[in-house]
Amino acid sequence: MPRGDKSKYTEKQKRKAEHIEESYEQRGVPQDEAERRAWATVNAQDGGGKKPGGSGRARPSSSKAEPKSRSGPDSKSG
């Protein structure tokens, strides 16, 4: 993906960037600077483009192991 390619963004992120860009332009910021700031804002708020979903993204439910019983000098059993 070349730099500046917006194809990996969701439609919602694209609409948000457009709205932010228009707001900057109304305040007198040049168009290219407004676009740069708008995408920087979207990236800061949403963490960039689309995130891959599916397996491997979240921790599996089986990763929560049972707490092990402690034995040794710091053990509270007595």
User: What's residue 55's pLDDT?
Assistant: 65
Give the Å distances, CA to CA, from 62 to 65, 66, 70, 72.
7, 10, 21, 27
User: What's residue 69's pLDDT?
Assistant: 65
Give the Å distances, CA to CA, from 25 to 6, 14, 41, 74, 77.
20, 16, 15, 64, 68
User: What's residue 42's pLDDT?
Assistant: 92
What is the percent of the chain with per-residue pLDDT over 90, rounded to a whole number? 42
Residue type, 39: W
Higher confidence at residue 28 or residue 53? 28
Q: Quote the CA–CA distance of 58 and 5 in Å, as a whole number.
A: 27
pLDDT band at 30 (very low <50, low <70, confident <90, very high): very high
